[in-house]
Amino acid sequence: MKRNVLFFRRLSPNDQAELLGHVQVFLDEKRFEGCGGLEVGDEICVTIAAQACLLLLHRQTDYFPHLTTVLVYPSTYMVEEQRHVEGPIWEEGKSARLGETGRKLGTIVLAWDASKSGAADPADGKNVVLHEFAHQLDYENGAEDGAPILGTRAQQLSWQKTMRIEFASLRAADETGIPTLLDTYGATNPAEFFAVAVEAFFERPRALRARHPNLYAELQRYFRHDPVEFSAETAK
């Protein structure tokens, strides 16, 4: 883990111990399967599990209860999909992907090279494991709406207000071509916005706190810790 997962070295001893405990439970509960000829060994399982379990630190929560299986491809993989053209017209096509998740199927699909590089560079703002497992947190409330389980009604209202404003801002920036800290893929829908925001929270915390303080505060309240404390991000 110390070799592949750079952020682990920067955690406090207590957080390292907590993360190791989460990883052990995760590996006991979830099944890993190799796809596309990939043989899954300890390196792959631990590297992915450590990144996923970063989302569980300091929180009393289940271990991604909708998830049973992690499917891992060597690299980018292709999937069949339908694209809406207009009106009743749809077209068949293929899409290259680094990861995807599905609540009903109980699976997450990941590309190993992207998962490994995300762990090795914890400050580039992109991490496919964090992104897909953020979707799993979103699913825990029974919906795919960009809102995980929150403690109180006041927290829910505060979350909804902040996310609504931030999502609208990202959509406007995407439509007008204004550069953004957040990946504009998050403008797709509230669920993708949450996943993209989680990536930025853990990978670019200083920048997110400076440019989106209200969004940062909501995520910090939910995750119950401040990733600035262990971030490899260069202060800007």
CA distance linking residue 34 with residue 75, whole number of Å: 11
Q: Average pLDDT over the chain, rounded to whole?
A: 92
Is 236 a member of any domain? no
What pLDDT digit, counting tens, does each position of 23-82 carry? Answer: 999 999 999 999 999 999 999 999 999 999 999 999 988 999 999 999 999 999 877 766
Q: Is the pLDDT of residue 87 over 80?
A: no
CATH number at residue 85: 3.40.390.10
Is 235 a member of any domain? no
Which residue spans within 87-178 are E strands per DSSP? 89-97, 99-102, 107-111
Give residues with Cβ within 8 angstroms of 202, minimum separation 6. 7, 54, 122, 127, 130, 227, 231
The percentage of residues in the chain with a pLDDT greater than 90, rounded to a whole number, is 78
Is 50 a member of any domain? yes
CA distance linking residue 171 with residue 174, whole number of Å: 5
pTM of the shown model? 0.92
Range of the structural domain that residue 114 is part of? 6-229
CA distance linking residue 79 with residue 7, whole number of Å: 31
Q: Is the pLDDT of residue 236 over 60?
A: no
Q: Band of the pLDDT at 83, cuts 50, 70, 90?
A: low
What pLDDT digit, counting tens, does each position of 143-153 carry? Answer: 889 999 998 99
Diameter over CA atoms, the chain: 57
Q: Band of the pLDDT at 22, cuts 50, 70, 90?
A: very high
CA distance linking residue 136 with residue 71, whole number of Å: 15
Is 100 a member of any domain? yes
Domain count, the chain: 1
